[in-house]
Amino acid sequence: MKRGHLFLVGFMGSGKSTVAGVVAERLGVPCVDLDQLIEAEQGASIAEVFAASGEVAFRALETKALLDLEGSEPSVVACGGGIVLLPENRAALKRMGTVVLLQVSAAEAVARIGDVSTRPLLAGPSGTLAATTLLQAREGLYRSVADIVIDTSGRSPDEVADVLLAQMEDSP
């Protein structure tokens, strides 16, 4: 297994933040959530950052949060669902550690999220329609960075963590 960070990527609602906490605890390493870092630094929620500054500005903050982790002690990192959009982020993920893709269907993602107003890109008349379109557009990008792919449907965060840790042991 490559050294460095363990990055969890995947669509909103795939369970990245919850699973990252479980895996970090089991490995005895810090857990980092990029959205939470941005919120703490900005003193605002992600929805507020989008509303005040727009998506492009948010993406710049996201890239900075990611690159700031370079060289820091190995941690489990929950990435925002859009981390794979920028080529520099995809290169950084591959360079800085192991990337795990948590897969989820659009319908299950929306059901898990519940209040989609917390996710500016899904807020609107149909969260499921927005999720389906976005997920389709991103699927190839998620796969392009993933060292390990895990289907989370019907699995609890603990079960996903079990599968993840087992697959890491099996990885070269």
Report the interface residues with ligand S3P, using CB under 6 A. Answer: 12, 16-17, 35, 46, 80-82, 119-121
Nearer to ligand S3P, 82 or 157 (CB): 82
To ligand S3P, the closest distance from the beta carbon of 46 in angstroms equals 5
Nearer to ligand S3P, 80 or 97 (CB): 80
Count of H-run helices and E-run strands, the chain? 8, 5
Nearer to ligand S3P, 88 or 171 (CB): 88
Nearer to ligand S3P, 64 or 166 (CB): 64
To ligand S3P, the closest distance from the beta carbon of 34 in angstroms equals 7
Assign residue 93 a region (left: φ > 0; alpha: ψ between -120 and 50; beta: otherwise): alpha
To ligand S3P, the closest distance from the beta carbon of 133 in angstroms equals 12
d(CA 165, CA 39): 29
To ligand S3P, the closest distance from the beta carbon of 109 in angstroms equals 9
- For residue 118, give every residue at least 6 positions away whose Cβ sits within 8 Å of its Cβ, in sequence order, or none: 45, 46, 47
Q: Are 151 and 103 in contact (CB under 8 A)?
A: yes
d(CA 129, CA 82): 17
